[in-house]
Amino acid sequence: MEAAKDMLRWVLDDVELLIGNVDADKVVITSDHGNGFGEFGTYGHPAGSLQQYVRRVPWVTTTATDSNSYEPETRTDEDRNEEGEAEVLEERLASLGYL
């Protein structure tokens, strides 16, 4: 349970950063499924589960206002190639069947 809470905090930190740096009248924060946390011996999201705690999709609606508080670090393709990142990315994509 603590690991799940830590992961949620980590993700919500990035969501907070995002909604503080874009303008949007409506922002939806959601997920693709819920998770079991020990209910009836269920943990995670077992395939085919009919339990509501797995089938219920988290959904929150809010707004976003750009405060210009964050400027992402940018790198060119040339920078990535120098660091070998392009090759690593290509290998990962190929191993997943995208290339």
What confidence score (pLDDT) does residue 63 get? 97
Backbone angles phi, psi at 41, to 5 degrees: 75, 15
DSSP state of 99: -
> pLDDT tens across 11-40, in order?
999 999 999 999 999 999 988 777 788 888
pLDDT of residue 36: 81
Residue 33 CA to residue 19 CA, distance in Å, equals: 22
* pLDDT for 74: 81
Give the pLDDT mean for 75-81.
Answer: 68
Nearest C-alpha neighbor of 32 from the set 54, 66, 57, 49: 57
